[in-house]
Amino acid sequence: MSSARQKLTSRDLARLAGVSQATVSRVLTNHPRVSEVTRARVLKVLEEENFIPNSLARAMKTGRTETIGVFMSRITSPFHAALLDAIGRKLASRELQMIVWDLEHHPQEMATQVMRRRLVDGSIFTSAAFDSRPDKVAVDSGVPTVLVHRGLDDLRCDQVVGDNRRGARELGDYLIRCGHTRIGLITSPLTVSTGRDREHGFRDALKAAGIRLPAAYVVRGSYDHQDGHAAVRKLMALKTPPTAVFCITDILALGAVDGARSLGLRIPDDLSIAGFDNVAMASWESYDLTTVDQPTEAIVDAGVQLLIQRIHDPSREPTVTTLPCQLIIRGSTGPPSKHAS
């Protein structure tokens, strides 16, 4: 079935795509110096003409597997699913495959083995944690590696993250501008950069406004809807409950909204709730959640770009890229209710 199709030459392709043969060749070899517009045009022609580059022959010549390892966790979390989706789309556009390891399912030693066996040309880590090892093993083993979404301060490798601290600071400033002085925090263990930086940004905002954060207003748990649900019920059982709650992820905030509703509370009249990430659900009518948008696509684009550059030039100095996040004000937040003050 493919033999007839493969008679098309790169010269034919160049003509059809309206580019030079050299450009076609760059697209076929995943060269980083091709504009997205040009790449897309060439790939479109490739697809329309059912042209299959002989990846296997190329892999044998280059010693590359054309496969990237994606080490992640929490696939069922909407944010992480969207991240994986963006990574898959970006890698596919470069004709790269992805092997996905969920670090919650695989023993960490399996990731270590992958590096030793050179099953992948490079690795993307989305869930780096201060207490995890596989990302460090990847870097030590010399496998080109990029961290996206979560970073690690002390790891010498390319990293692309959102500006979580500034995003949370802006959200905190906004809640304070609304008139809140009793603001709760539903957060995670301090073992990941996203959680730590968002908590710091939130505390920065309170400190600048001279607002105290009593220990009783901080609920530190895990990352699921049910954790947000339980946490908000705990906060609202306090003698003087908060009038607003900042949850360090949207999924915790969605849980908090449902937990508040289970108590008969109206959002935002009785309680303002805000999250972080801007997952698709945050915009749905039932939640209409104030949050901070993480530039997921841009983080992934930059991360994959850096990874491909590193595969071609392993000696380049690693860079840490921090991309701005954007406050999104929706209906789940407002001024504190008169009854509560």
Q: How far is residue 148's CA from residue 303's CA, in Å, rounded to a whole number?
A: 6
- Nearest distance in Å: CB 334, a copy of itself: 18
- Nearest distance in Å: CB 187, a copy of itself: 21
- Nearest distance in Å: CB 332, a copy of itself: 11
Judge residue 293's burial from the number of C-beta atoms within 10 Å of its C-beta, 0-12 exposed, 13-18 middle, 19 or more buried: middle
Q: Which is nearer to a copy of itself, 99 or 323 (CB)?
A: 99
Q: Which is nearer to a copy of itself, 77 or 145 (CB)?
A: 77
Q: Kindly write down the DSSP assignment for every residue of 240-303, as one continuous string.
A: S--SEEEESSHHHHHHHHHHHHHTT--TTTT-EEE-SB--GGGGSTTT--BEEE--HHHHHHHH
Judge residue 284's burial from the number of C-beta atoms within 10 Å of its C-beta, 0-12 exposed, 13-18 middle, 19 or more buried: exposed
- Nearest distance in Å: CB 312, a copy of itself: 22
- The helix (H) or strand (E) run that includes residue 67 is strand 67-72
Q: How far is residue 256's CA from residue 88's CA, in Å, rounded to a whole number?
A: 31
Q: Which is nearer to a copy of itself, 206 or 257 (CB)?
A: 257
Phi and psi (nearest 5°) for 49? Answer: -95, 5
- Nearest distance in Å: CB 229, a copy of itself: 8
Q: Which is nearer to a copy of itself, 126 or 193 (CB)?
A: 126
Q: Which is nearer to a copy of itself, 112 or 181 (CB)?
A: 112
| Residues contributing to the site for a copy of itself (CB under 8 A) | 1-2, 43, 46-47, 50, 52, 55-56, 67, 75-76, 78, 81-82, 84-85, 88-89, 92-93, 95, 97-102, 105-107, 109-110, 112-114, 116-117, 119, 225, 254-255, 257-259, 261-262, 280-281, 284-287
